[in-house]
């Protein structure tokens, strides 16, 4: 459990580093790749591992995040448009 908490803390630090790019013109490609691997991996593990209760909600949730990140990597100019 401590290793999992440490991994989550590392992800949060990585995501927090993207705030420096928030107002800038550059797309934070490394952060998006980190999120794609993390969320896509979580979705796959939940599906493969067989936790029915967790997979029912978690796999689609993390899978949707991974798809959004993949779309942002495919079209970074679209992802950087103001809301």
Show me where the domains of the chain are located. 27-76
| Beta carbons of 2 and 18 less than 8 angstroms apart | no
**Which whole number is the average pLDDT over 14-26?**
77
**pLDDT computed for residue 73 by the predictor:** 95
Alpha carbon distance 74, 77 (integer Å): 9
26: which DSSP letter?
S
- Which pTM was predicted? 0.78
**pLDDT tens-digit series, residues 44-80:** 888 887 777 777 888 899 999 999 999 999 999 998 8
Alpha carbon distance 81, 30 (integer Å): 18
């Amino acid at each position: 459990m401590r290793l999992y908490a440490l991994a989550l803390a590392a992800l949060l630090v990585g995501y927090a580093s993207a705030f420096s790019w928030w107002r800038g013109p550059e797309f934070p490609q490394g952060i998006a790749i980190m999120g794609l691997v993390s969320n896509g991996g979580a979705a796959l593990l939940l599906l493969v591992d067989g936790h029915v209760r967790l997979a029912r909600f978690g796999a689609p949730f993390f899978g949707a995040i991974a798809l959004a990140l993949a779309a942002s990597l495919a079209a970074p100019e679209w992802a950087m448009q103001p809301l």
